[in-house]
Amino acid sequence: MNIVVCIKQVPDTKGGVKFNPDGTLDRAAMLAIMNPDDKAGLEAALRIKDETGAKVTVLTMGLPKADAVLREALAMGADEAVLVTDRVLGGADTWATSTTIAGALRNLDYDLIITGRQAIDGDTAQVGPQIAEHLGLPVISYAADIKVEGDSVVVKRQYEDRYHELKAKMPCLVTALSELNEPRYMTPGGIFDAFDKEVTVWGRADLKDVDDSDLGLKGSPTKIAKASDKVAKGAGEKVNLDPAESVAYLIGKFKEKHII
């Protein structure tokens, strides 16, 4: 069984956010981590590997420094790693990103593709389902549990107030929630092994069945009009009044805001 896990190196927002003049994130200038949803998806794949002996390949699209999250994944137990990097792929929105990743996946053998539900630098939850659409695969999103039964995958799918258990024949794609599990730590031996392994690097020329018009910033139908740091919310107003005065005060505020 072959499992491919799509992971992403994302900005660690605790270290501050920086932007390029065109409004895109300046990823080269920011501290980076593995996207939490993706890490949970990787852990799910590694648990399936532990049970079945599956081969786990991790794939990411990004700058050359994204090699770091691939090494982390290898140290956790992944077998192979692929980095898709090329200047023409920069500034991609979800459409261009999913087109690129699908083009890379066409080079690989897979029974199951796992992605994170969404990335913390975009929060769109679009790339996973879009990859499935490009490849003509069934997709189950918001996975709170993933199991393999024969030639099928069984997923506990989270809704706002309930769960559904869904089953799909492989090959298929599943998007994972960060709440899915507690990812394992890298082991010292795994870290040494990770740096002994070769990371496969692909560029534009290695993508199958994709058009240049669908790649990078130029191939992105979504454009960033403006990007800025989040403005801190001011402290609320605190008043100490008796019940009757409190009611009158609230009514006055509601009228002031045209709520009533």
- The closest alpha carbon to 116, from 32, 2, 35, 4, belongs to 35
State the residue range of the domain holding 103.
Answer: 2-214
How far is residue 80 CA from its own chain's centroid?
A: 19
User: Residue 247: inside a domain, yes or no?
Assistant: no
> In total, how many domains does the chain have?
1
User: Residue 104: inside a domain, yes or no?
Assistant: yes
**44 pLDDT higher than 90:** yes
Calculate the average pLDDT of the chain. 91
User: Residue 57: inside a domain, yes or no?
Assistant: yes
Q: What does the pLDDT look like over 78-137, one tens digit per residue?
A: 999 999 999 999 988 999 999 999 999 999 999 999 999 988 887 788 999 999 999 999
**Where do runs of H (alpha helix) occur along 181-242?**
188-196
Using pLDDT thresholds of 50, 70 and 90, give the confidence band for residue 233: confident
User: Residue 84: inside a domain, yes or no?
Assistant: yes
**145 pLDDT higher than 80:** yes
User: Residue 64: inside a domain, yes or no?
Assistant: yes
User: Residue 226: inside a domain, yes or no?
Assistant: no
Exposure on the CB side of residue 220, measured as CA atoms within 13 A: 18
User: Residue 239: inside a domain, yes or no?
Assistant: no
> What is the domain-level CATH number for residue 13?
3.40.50.620
User: Residue 134: inside a domain, yes or no?
Assistant: yes
